[in-house]
A and B are shown apart, each in its own frame.
Chain A
Amino acid sequence: MKLEVDVAIVGSGAGGGAVLDRLLPLIGQGLKVAVLEAGPYFTRDYFTQREVEMMGIFWGNGAWPTADGAITMMMGKAVGGSTAMYTGVTFRAPDEVLLEWGIPGLTPEDLKPRYEALEQALNVHAPPADFVNDNNRLFKEACEKLGWPCEDLRLNLRDCDQNGYCNLGCVSGGKQGTLELQIPRAIAAGVTLVPNCTVERVQDRTLFAQVQPAPAGTQPGPYPPGPLEIKARLIVLAAGCPGTPALLLRSGLPGLCDALGRYVTVHPAVTGFGIYPHPIKNYRGFPKTYYTPHFSKSHGYYIETCFYYPFSTAKSVHGWGPEHRSLMRRYNRMLSILVLLHDPALPANRVTLSRGQAKLIYRIHPDNIKALAHAQASSAEIFFAAGCDSVHVSLADQFELSRAEAAADPGRFIRPENFIPGTTPVSSAHPQGGCRMGIAPKTSITDPLGRVHGYPWLRVADSSLFPKSSHVNPYLTIMALADRVADGIFADRREFLP
């Protein structure tokens, strides 16, 4: 099958959705737009709040490890991309991060109005008081006791029913992700959405894709299974990281520099647990409302609240055997927090191909392992200050640290040497980089407005543009960058658009 449009967008997540929204006014003027998405079109009534049934909304059915198996990567494979199962925690990139990125024109002043407009459109606000479940309340009280700053995690919600299953797909539609906002608007405006459509190559303003059958219970697309060729005047790659770098690597476009695929960062994430004296049912209510930035500048990490479902929790608990089972039996007394590490952007951490499929080669940096040990000691301090009887963190000498022995100085029991790659549970939901923007075609893949060097008809508008880590949860910055990419499209409009 063949399709001819003015603009083709590959990927329908945070970046794709933001570009799509900016193009909508032009559709009324005759612009033809298609969105090609590898994942199925799940609607709210598909989401059953059951972990094993919802595997299929993630890449690799939730089992997408880094090449060395040390980190489980979580990326959405769905219309809406990873915003279909994100939590909606909304951060602006700190000024010092933008400064460190050093991209000409990408300044706090440039981003401020974009952030403001996006936050308004997505209804971003501080969590109201009735959103705070015990896990979050106790975290805040503990930070206050310790004298550490505890800040609100701002959220992009409207009429959220706080059912607590955000990361298995939002059943109420309260989360203001691409699936709920931009996609319905685009479909109503006449955009062609092709779900289950994996783009394999891009060449000479043409995309070569394969359409798969729609899985049962999902919305079918307009094309039957089989090859699909899409010609477009302008192509926007928003397949995320590792999706976009992998697609460019597969395409083998001449002239792109060796930075392609490289400088990937992931915010390695590790969960820690405290055991509270009595049941608190933290799996109900909104899972994340507070964080402490206390150690961001000094040690390179954030601590955020979090809470997950039984299997995800069991997987994040280190080890096995009677101790593991005994801890899991106290699931409804658990407090949990997530450490997010600021990782360095290194050329060796990269997306490559294995039989044409994306593979992520990534090694956790020794400084990050040291930071993790510090972060777990800080987490233990929070848990004890919150009133927990014991603490389980993966780098501790013992499976469970009791209040009596460890509360005074948990750091004595937690050591970086206890980190074992592939055994210590680490995950990531924030892959970034691989098509870093910049000025010089010798060291970057796109210019600061996402134009692929040497290919004016090809743009990148997703997390792969990040030249280094954003440190904070990235979706809003991805959307703000995609908004800049849309500026570039408008600036070049006469060349490409009717």
Chain B
Amino acid sequence: MADEPFRYHFKHLAGRRQQTFLAIAEEIIPADDSGPGGGTIATAALADWAIARLDPSLQKLLMVFLTVWEYLGLLFGGKPFTRLSSEARQRQMRWFERSPIPALRTGFFGLRAMALMGFYCREDVWPSIGYEGPLLFDRPFPDPEIRALQKGKVGVAP
């Protein structure tokens, strides 16, 4: 059925990591009067599809980084990142962005890229930025999964 969400099976951004990713994505792209923010399953699913195609060493780094990120929240508000207030989360992100440790800066840049990809590659987001989409909108792609994910209606497959 056209209105049914597409059921996606997460390969990398699952469990706790998914929660951390969603919390980061919501701070990177916060909700506003044009619509919901980046912290949705639709963003995470598209990012997960892209992560699954990265070099395995980068995949691993991103996943380790998400775990580190979650627990470094303890230093910024005494709790893991997902349980921090939005202010404390932003404090942590600003610190990461300017961290003296290059790996933390680039890890953040990588996650930022994934969140932005997961959000701005979605057809349902395009009207809010005034983008009319590809001229060849309906040209098929060999992988139907990614085309379905771009529609922005996604549920989690068991």
A binds B: yes
Cross-chain contact of A171 among B129, B136, B146 (Cβ < 8 A): B136
Interface 9-residue window, one of A47-55, A83-91, A294-302, A465-473? A47-55
A69 proximal to B (CB < 8 A): yes
By a CB distance below 8 angstroms, the chain B residues around A50 are 121, 134, 141, 150
Chain A positions within 8 Å of B131 at CB level: 283, 309-310, 331-332
A454 touches B (CB below 8 Å): no
Which residues from chain B sit less than 8 Å from chain A, CB to CB?
27-30, 32, 34, 37, 46, 49-50, 53-55, 57-58, 90, 93, 97-98, 102-103, 105-110, 112-113, 116-117, 119-121, 125-126, 128-132, 134-136, 139-143, 146-147, 150
Of B121, B132, B140, which one neighbours A51 at CB under 8 angstroms?
B121
Contact check, A52 vs B28: say whether CB atoms are below 8 A apart: no
Are the CB atoms of B120 and A49 closer together than 8 Å? no
A45 CA to B141 CA in the complex, in Å? Answer: 9
User: Which chain B residue has the least Cβ–Cβ distance from A69?
Assistant: B106
Within A415-444, the residues touching B (CB, 8 Å) are: 420-423, 425
Asked if A165 is at the interface of the complex by the 8 Å CB criterion, the answer is yes
The answer to whether the Cβ of A28 comes within 8 Å of any Cβ in the partner chain is no
| Chain A nearest Cβ from B122, distance in angstroms | 9
A145 is an interface residue with CB less than 8 A from chain B: no
Separation in Å of the A465 CB from the closest CB of chain B?
27
Instruction: Quote the shortest CB–CB distance from A233 to chain B (angstroms).
Output: 35
Known: A61-B50, A215-B142, A330-B130. 6 other contacts (CB 8 A): A52-B50, A52-B146, A281-B130, A310-B131, A325-B32, A333-B130
Alpha-carbon gap, A68 to B109, bound state (A): 12
Smallest beta-carbon distance A285→chain B, Å: 11
CB of A52 within 8 A of CB of B117, answer yes
User: Closest approach, in angstroms, between the C-beta of B39 and any C-beta of chain A?
Assistant: 12
A-side interface residues, number (CB < 8 Å): 50
Q: Are A49 and B117 in contact (CB under 8 A)?
A: no
Is the pair B105, A421 in contact by a Cβ cutoff of 8 Å?
yes
Instruction: State how many angstroms separate the Cβ of B47 from the closest Cβ of chain A.
Output: 10
If over half of A's interface residues share one DSSP class (helix, strand or loop), that class is named, otherwise mixed; here it is: loop
Residue ID in chain A nearest B147 by CB atoms: A53
Stretch at the interface among A204-212, A314-322, A398-406, A488-496: A314-322
Q: Measured between alpha carbons, how far is A60 from B57 in the docked complex, in Å?
A: 11
* Minimum distance in angstroms from A325 CB to a CB of chain B: 5
Return B143 CB to nearest CB of chain A, in Å: 7
- Which A residues are closer than 8 A to B by beta carbons? 45-46, 48-53, 55-56, 60-61, 63, 65, 68-70, 163, 165, 171, 215-217, 279, 281, 283, 309-311, 313-315, 320-322, 324-326, 328-333, 355, 420-423, 425
Nearest Cβ in chain A — how far from B119, in angstroms?
8
Q: Top 8 nearest A-B pairs by Cβ distance?
A: A69-B106, A332-B130, A49-B134, A217-B142, A422-B105, A216-B142, A331-B129, A422-B106
Please report the C-alpha to C-alpha distance between residue A311 and residue B116 in the assembled complex, in whole angstroms.
6
A321–B90 CB distance below 8 A:
yes
A216 touches B143 (CB 8 A): yes
Output the nearest chain B residue to A165 by Cβ-Cβ distance.
Answer: B134
> Is B32's CB under 8 angstroms from A279's CB?
no
Cross-interface CB contact of A60 among B27, B55, B119, cutoff 8 Å: B55
A310 touches B129 (CB 8 A): yes
Inter-chain contact B32/A53, CB cutoff 8 Å: no
Q: Which of A55, A65, A322 is in CB contact (< 8 Å) with B50?
A: A55
A457 to B143, CA, bound (A): 43
For A320, give the chain B residue with the smallest CB separation: B28
- The verdict on A53 contacting B135 (CB below 8 Å), with A320-B112, A321-B28 known, is no
Min CB gap B147→A, angstroms: 7
A215: chain B residues at CB < 8 Å are: 142
Query: Given the complex of chains A and B, what is the CA–CA distance between A171 and B131 in angstroms?
Result: 19
CB atoms of A65 and B141 under 8 A apart: no
Task: Please give the distance in Å from A388's CB to the nearest CB on chain B.
Answer: 16
Cβ contacts under 8 Å, A329 to chain B: 32, 34, 128-130
Interface centre among A63, A68, A217, A311 (most CB of B within 10 A): A63
**Is there contact, CB below 8 Å, between B120 and A311?**
yes
